[in-house]
Amino acid sequence: MSLPFLLEIGTEEVPDWMIRNALEDLRAQFVKLGVPHETVQVDATPRRLVLRASGLPERQADSVERVQGPAKSAPPQAVEGFARRQGTTPAGLTVEATPKGEYYVFHKQVTGRATRDILAEALAGIVLGIYFPKTMYWTGKGGPRFIRPIRWLVALLGEDVVPFEIGGVRSGNVSCGHRRLGAAQVPVTCADYEQRLRENCVILSADERRARIVEGLSGAKVDAELLETLVYLTEYPTAIEGGFDPAFLELPAEVLVTVMRHHQRYFSVEDADGKLLPRFFAVMNIGADPEGFVRRGNERVLRARFTDARFFWDSDQKKKLVDRRKDLGAVTFQAKLGSYRDKARRMKALVKDLGGKAASARAADLCKCDLTTELVGEFPELQGVVGGLYARAQGERAEVWQAIYDHYKPVSMEDSIPRNATGRIVALADKLDTLRGCFRVGLVPTGSRDPFALRRAAQGVVKILVEGGMDLPLPDLLEGNAELIAFFQERVKFYFKDARGFQYDEVNAAMAAGWSNLADLDARLRRIQGLRQSPDFEPLAASFKRIRNILEQARFEGGAGIVESLLEEEPEKELYREYQSIAGQPIENVISRLRPKVDLFFDKVLVNAPREEVRQNRLQLLFELRREFSKVADFSEIVTTS
């Protein structure tokens, strides 16, 4: 008989951002248990993690266990004793040949265990084994640990409760509805579980909650990240629309949107031209707001927040950015690396090395000053942006205020780089200064620990250099710090492989031919991608690998030059002539001509000629050929399928 299985872990509100990973972990652990099943599905709301499976057997399959007894030569009493212990007689035993001789053997019929027993034994371990980034105990020291207290457990196999217990809570068939709109005790079966929850104002399916929210957001910009947060922050979501005084639109849209999205979890609303409208959508965890209590409450909170922001905006303006430079001396950047004033001074020197002009120096001078403003104190995520906005209001040139505004960019692999060249230089100087300083004083990321986000900073440097097409030699900017150069080498590889999607062998090949200029490296990688389409590419790459091996084995590192008179056989003369005629041309144009000559050479010519001068001459030919065509990439790094 095949049975459905339901497990519901009833908890207090689990942080929204942890739920999806927890569900996948729950699923994986259930699958690992090895109980046969047809389907398995996981769902969650903030108050419940749920696993449902179908097609579980009532019992595991029967099996036969082979128990080896005494040797055939053993006295009869020993044989009888063995049989008795196995619950049989000597007639029930067989004699089998083993590598050590003939032995009595009993084939024991083992009845499969009841699935319910297996689950009862395993479930507590599975639940408490779910990984969460931070756990707590709630029954007292030494008690179970989970993300939040477990308050009820439903575990049903078919119609039977699978009995287990965690921290004094015993499993049963009673779930719990919405905190205020549903019943506190909701008896369920495997079949009616989802329906019973629905009757008690809990929508189990995240897809359905998501659809319900989106449906209510007519006209709003659907921010995917915020939507997911709200899907896992509610059991019965309903979107409502509110508004605010249009007078607040005088404040920068960046500030208004940050308040709405990050602090209040509202969706902002824009018109067709992308201009912010004085409206918002909030998502409630109840079904309706007939009296408008929730709408008015949210509107008042938003008004208070905006009033605060306006207060900060106005009072910050009383002191210009340029007059705040001195105050940066009191803001520590890092204990061993001094204050932000020190950092700004270093950046100012660094932008010059990066080819920056007066605008870059001005932006570097001012870009950290917003750290002393009240608005950034209130909205730290707006650092840079606020500085840019103040700089604009205080009459700085567009080039300068935009550079300040953008100088933390890119904040992720998906984020864009600063919009103008000045911004790119200031952003580079900021990140390079942090990286150089931290590596100098030994603050180097290890494993998953990277408290200063140095990987992200390095990634930003790489992205700006490549996507800004900047002609700057990266390794020269790293103060000859070998550790930092190696760190960057990894980040360059990561960028081209994971962010840009080049094959790892293409990246290795291109970097082996140099990675000092990243814009150039990018161009070469794109050429390799193009070359890879050619049918001649892989065979030629294989030949280059062969050439590399031959040269390495011969420990040949280049000689005087090719002596034409020492070229003996026709294929090597042909290869030489071809080489001479195509040298200096882009490899794309000559690959189809070169390949047959190389193939022929390896087919007909023995590099290890008996005569030393001839051998040296052939090695020289291969050496020059490799050097000539390795400017784009070291093709011997390409992994060939043939």
Partner 1 sequence: MESFQDIIFKLKQYWAERGCIIQEPYDVEVGAGTMCPETFLRVLGPEPYRVAYVQPSRRPADGRYGDNPNRLFKHSQFQVILKPSPADIIEQYLGSLEAIGIDLKQHDIKFEEDNWEAPTLGAWGIGWQVMLDGLEISQFTYFQQCGGIDLDAVPAELTYGLERLTAFLQVRDSVYEIEWAKGFSYGDVRYRDELQYSVYNFEMADIRTLWKLFDLHEGEATRLLAAYNPKSPDKKRFPLLPTYDHVLKCSNLFNTLDARGAISVTERVGVIQRVRKMAVGVAQAWADQSRVAPAAEVAE
Binding-residue total with partner 1 (CB under 8 A)? 49
- Of 180, 275, 318, 449, the one binding partner 1 (CB under 8 A) is 180
Cβ neighbours for 228, distance < 8 A, ≥ 6 positions apart: 16, 210
CB of 268 to partner 1, least distance (A): 14
Taken in order 398, 401, 404, 407, the sign of the CA dihedral is: negative
CB of 294 to partner 1, least distance (A): 5
Q: Which two tokens stand for residue 538?
A: 């892989």
CB of 262 to partner 1, least distance (A): 12
User: Pairing mode, if any, of strands 150-157 and 169-172?
Assistant: parallel
* Under rule CB under 8 A, residue 331 binds partner 1: yes
Q: x-or-dash pattern for partner 1, window 235-264, by CB under 8 A?
A: -----------------------------x
- Of 20, 27, 151, 526, the one binding partner 1 (CB under 8 A) is 151
Stretch that binds partner 1, among 180-188, 436-444, 446-454, 497-505 (CB under 8 A): 180-188
- Of 95, 330, 349, 606, the one binding partner 1 (CB under 8 A) is 330
Quick one: 137 or 504, whose CB is closer to partner 1? 137
Query: Vertex 441, ends 440 and 443: CA angle to 5°?
Result: 100
* Under rule CB under 8 A, residue 57 binds partner 1: no
Quick one: 71 or 331, whose CB is closer to partner 1? 331
- Of 272, 335, 482, 560, the one binding partner 1 (CB under 8 A) is 335
CB of 258 to partner 1, least distance (A): 15
CB of 307 to partner 1, least distance (A): 7
Identity of the residue numbered 215: E
* Under rule CB under 8 A, residue 148 binds partner 1: yes
* Under rule CB under 8 A, residue 307 binds partner 1: yes
- Of 131, 138, 494, 556, the one binding partner 1 (CB under 8 A) is 138
Q: Give, to the nearest 10 degrees, the angle between helix 482-494 and helix 454-467.
A: 70
CA distance 605 to 228: 66
- Of 302, 344, 361, 509, the one binding partner 1 (CB under 8 A) is 302
CA distance 18 to 29: 17
Query: Vertex 365, ends 364 and 371: CA angle to 5°?
Result: 95
C-beta separation of 343 from 351 below 8 A: no
Q: Which two tokens stand for residue 330?
A: 């009191």
Stretch that binds partner 1, among 12-20, 512-520, 586-594, 598-606 (CB under 8 A): 12-20
- Of 29, 115, 234, 617, the one binding partner 1 (CB under 8 A) is 234
* Under rule CB under 8 A, residue 182 binds partner 1: no
Q: x-or-dash pattern for partner 1, window 382-421, by CB under 8 A?
A: ----------------------------------------
Stretch that binds partner 1, among 280-288, 560-568, 603-611, 621-629 (CB under 8 A): 280-288
Quick one: 146 or 601, whose CB is closer to partner 1? 146
* Under rule CB under 8 A, residue 282 binds partner 1: yes
Q: Is the peptide bond before 410 cis (omega within 30 degrees of 0)?
A: yes
* Under rule CB under 8 A, residue 46 binds partner 1: yes
CB of 140 to partner 1, least distance (A): 5
Cβ neighbours for 244, distance < 8 A, ≥ 6 positions apart: 278, 279, 280, 299, 302, 303, 306
Stretch that binds partner 1, among 303-311, 446-454, 507-515, 519-527 (CB under 8 A): 303-311
* Under rule CB under 8 A, residue 224 binds partner 1: no
* Under rule CB under 8 A, residue 99 binds partner 1: no
513 three-class SS: coil
Stretch that binds partner 1, among 32-40, 177-185, 462-470, 520-528 (CB under 8 A): 177-185
**Looking at 285-394, which runs of residues are DSSP E strands?**
332-334, 338-339
* Under rule CB under 8 A, residue 179 binds partner 1: yes
* Under rule CB under 8 A, residue 166 binds partner 1: no
* Under rule CB under 8 A, residue 357 binds partner 1: no
Phi, psi of 335 (to 5 degrees): -50, -45
CA distance 316 to 310: 10
* Under rule CB under 8 A, residue 294 binds partner 1: yes
Q: Quick one: which H or E segment has residue 283?
A: strand 276-284
CB of 318 to partner 1, least distance (A): 14
Q: Quick one: which H or E segment has residue 300?
A: helix 293-316
- Of 67, 191, 247, 304, the one binding partner 1 (CB under 8 A) is 304
Could you please report the per-residue DSSP string of 166-212?
ETTEEEESEE---TTTS-S-EE--TTTHHHHHHHTT----HHHHHHH
Phi, psi of 352 (to 5 degrees): -65, -45
CA distance 109 to 477: 74
- Of 192, 311, 416, 471, the one binding partner 1 (CB under 8 A) is 311
C-beta separation of 574 from 597 below 8 A: yes
CA distance 616 to 607: 9
* Under rule CB under 8 A, residue 140 binds partner 1: yes
Q: Which two tokens stand for residue 322?
A: 């340029």
* Under rule CB under 8 A, residue 141 binds partner 1: yes
Stretch that binds partner 1, among 90-98, 147-155, 243-251, 598-606 (CB under 8 A): 147-155
CA distance 152 to 174: 8
Neighbour-count burial for 447-478, b at 16+ CB within 10 Å, e otherwise = eeeeebebebbbbbbbbbbbbbebebebbebb
Quick one: 282 or 470, whose CB is closer to partner 1? 282
Residues contributing to the site for partner 1 (CB under 8 A): 12-13, 15-17, 46, 134, 136-141, 148-149, 151, 179-181, 184, 233-234, 264, 266, 282, 284-286, 289-291, 293-294, 296-298, 300-304, 307-308, 311, 330-332, 335, 339
